[in-house]
Amino acid sequence: MLRYLIASILFLSCAAHANDAPSPGCFDLTQESVVLLKAAPTSFQTLSDPSASGTDKKNNDWADVSGIVKKPILTLYQKLLDPKTIRNGDNTRVEVTEIESKTFLKKMIEKIVVKPVFFITIAWSEEWGFGLKKGTPANPEAIVISYQKTEGTSHIKHLCGNISLQMLSPTSTGVFIYEEVQADRRSSDDVLNGITGTLRTLRE
């Protein structure tokens, strides 16, 4: 997700970190949240990764993709706890602060600082909640991950998303990813490319 967002913002002024503003969120992560912004498929296809994209009435560019990953659900959960799974650029620094929570498997604040070139700094914060939808913490059957931008660069006006993990077998997981963004020089195709990249990374 991140590399496509940064490629767009590279065209902005070098004061990209100025005029920081809070971002309107999508979730209330002070309490349990396992409801998806867009419904996941009822079944997962084995030969293709269905996807869709567009722009909504609020001018948010959105996209979704689903697919099967031949790995246990707990393996994918552990991979997604590491922010470097989807933010692997050498010019990216992520500070993670874990928040104590009785309603989530994990809850954290991620502060992302990117220096795409020496005179530009882009910084923002995201709130992440890893919710158990079905099963137990030791043996989850469905996990819903919700994230949203809470503050930072005004060039990203809105950013929310979900990653849904559904156990299909002990060694196979159905993955559904949805994201909506309103950012300068950002299109729905960029959003789709980003989340498709995340799905590809989870298969590595």
Q: pLDDT band at residue 166, thresholds of 50, 70 and 90? A: very high
pLDDT at position 16 = 41
pLDDT digits over 35-54, tens only? 999 999 999 998 899 999 99
The residues that bridge with 113 in the sheet, in sequence order, are 93, 123
pLDDT at position 8 = 47
Residue 136: Cβ-neighbour burial (10 angstroms; 0-12, 13-18, 19+): exposed
Which residue blocks in 35-175 are alpha helix, DSSP H? Answer: 73-81
Q: Say what the pTM is.
A: 0.88
Structure-token pair, residue 46: 């084995």
CATH number of domain containing 131: 3.30.530.20
pLDDT at residue 133 tops 50:
yes
How far CA 75 is from CA of 71, 120, 153, 185, in Å, comes to: 7, 36, 32, 34
Total residues belonging to the chain: 204
Domain that holds residue 188: 2-202
